[in-house]
């Protein structure tokens, strides 16, 4: 049983002229097996939350805490966070030319589990996971994200989620740019990972359509750098009908 706890998190970024506060006191708790949807309009700070938890150097945490099972996540380096059991499926995964997917996956698996995976079972696991995500075999010998389409990049992110078996997974707009079939395939991957590893999922999205495939236990509406409203799945349904106008209007 793992718990990711975010308390009164304030995060800033340096812009050209000054420092801008983006997260203004976020409180959130994600436990193993739970699915939390974070929804909100563009620019509300959803992705900043994701990257701050993962430790991207662009974001400066000015106050607040993030802990995983009581351990101070903010004191850890990016790779230590991943080895502690956090995973971020990125919205725009970067290309790493010349590093094959096979080599990358094995290196990452070795790093997070502390030992090299057994070759025979590992190869089988990778093949099976790729088949479930409808990824061709030749994928494995391509460079990481090199020349991948948008949909291929997202499948590759979920492939990693399934193989690296994190305690808590943050999915940053994994649904963006996917057609209906790809969205279903990717969502099934997330559900498989959660079913197998009891992963806690923090699902960041702008739209409600992914919630048809991944059922949230909790929905948090993110506006202007903090949670404006929280509820169960019914809140997502209401957002689908009303959009975010209600929250944006309140700010004026």
Partner 1 sequence: MLNSLLTSSPKTHIDPAAQLAAVPEKSRAERTASFDVADFPMPHGREEDWRFTPVDRLTGLLADEPTDEGAMTVEVSDSSVIAPPLAAGEGVRGTALIPGDRASALAHAHSRKALHLLLAADTEYAEPVRVQVRGAQGKRSNGHVVIEAGANAHALVILEHTGSGEHTANVEVVVGDGAHLTVVSVQQWADDAIHLAQHEALVGRDATYRHIAVTLGGAIVRINANVKYAGPGADATLLGVYFADAHQHLEHRTYIDHNAPRCKSLVTYKGALQGDGAHSVWVGDVLIGAEAEGTDTYELNRNLVLTDGARADSVPNLEIETGDIAGAGHASSTGRFDDEQLFYLQARGIPEHEARRLVVRGFFADVINKIGVPDVVDPLMAAIDEELAVGDTA
31 within 8 A of 200, measured Cβ to Cβ:
yes
> What is the length of the chain?
252
Q: Between 14 and 33, how does the x/- string for binding to partner 1 read (CB under 8 A)?
A: -x----x-x-----------
What is the rounded CA–CA span in Å between residue 202 and residue 38?
Answer: 7
- Name the one range near partner 1 by CB under 8 A: 3-11, 41-49, 60-68, 225-233: 41-49
Secondary structure of residue 111 in the 3-state scheme: helix
Q: Between 154 and 193, how does the x/- string for binding to partner 1 read (CB under 8 A)?
A: ------x---x-----------------------------
207 within 8 A of 219, measured Cβ to Cβ:
no
Indicate whether 225 belongs to the interface with partner 1 (CB under 8 A). Answer: no
What is the rounded CA–CA span in Å between residue 45 and residue 224?
Answer: 7
Alpha helices in the chain (DSSP H): 46-54, 78-84, 101-113, 119-132, 150-164, 180-197, 233-242, 245-251
**Number of chain positions touching partner 1 (CB under 8 A):** 41
State which of residues 11, 38, 54, 126 lies at the interface with partner 1 (CB under 8 A).
54
Site residues for partner 1, 69-108, by CB under 8 A, read 77-79, 81-83, 87-88, 90-99, 103-104, 107-108
- Which residues sit at the interface with partner 1, rule CB under 8 A? 13, 15, 20, 22, 43, 47-48, 51, 54-58, 77-79, 81-83, 87-88, 90-99, 103-104, 107-108, 111-112, 143-144, 160, 164
């Amino acid at each position: 049983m793992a718990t990711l706890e975010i308390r009164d998190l304030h995060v800033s970024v340096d812009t050209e002229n000054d420092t801008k506060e983006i997260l203004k006191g976020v409180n959130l708790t994600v436990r193993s097996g739970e699915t939390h949807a974070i929804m909100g309009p563009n620019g509300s700070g959803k992705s900043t939350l994701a990257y701050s938890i993962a430790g991207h150097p662009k974001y400066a945490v000015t106050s607040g805490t993030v802990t995983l099972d009581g351990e101070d996540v903010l004191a850890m380096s990016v790779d230590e966070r991943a080895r502690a059991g956090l995973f971020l499926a990125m919205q725009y995964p970067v290309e790493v030319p010349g590093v094959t997917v096979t080599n990358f996956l094995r290196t990452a698996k070795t790093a997070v589990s502390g030992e090299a995976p057994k070759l025979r079972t590992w190869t089988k696991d990778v093949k099976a996971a790729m088949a479930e995500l409808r990824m061709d075999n030749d994928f494995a010998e391509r460079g990481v994200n090199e020349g991948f389409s948008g949909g291929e990049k997202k499948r590759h992110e979920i492939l990693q989620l399934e193989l690296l078996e994190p305690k808590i997974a943050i999915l940053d707009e994994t649904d963006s740019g996917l057609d209906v079939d790809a969205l279903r395939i990717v969502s099934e991957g997330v559900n498989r990972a959660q079913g197998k590893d009891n992963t806690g999922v923090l699902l960041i999205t702008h739209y409600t359509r992914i919630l048809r495939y991944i059922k949230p236990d909790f929905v948090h509406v993110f506006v202007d750098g903090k949670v404006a409203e929280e509820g169960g799945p019914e809140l997502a349904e209401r957002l689908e009908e009303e959009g975010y106008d209600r929250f944006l209007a309140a700010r004026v």
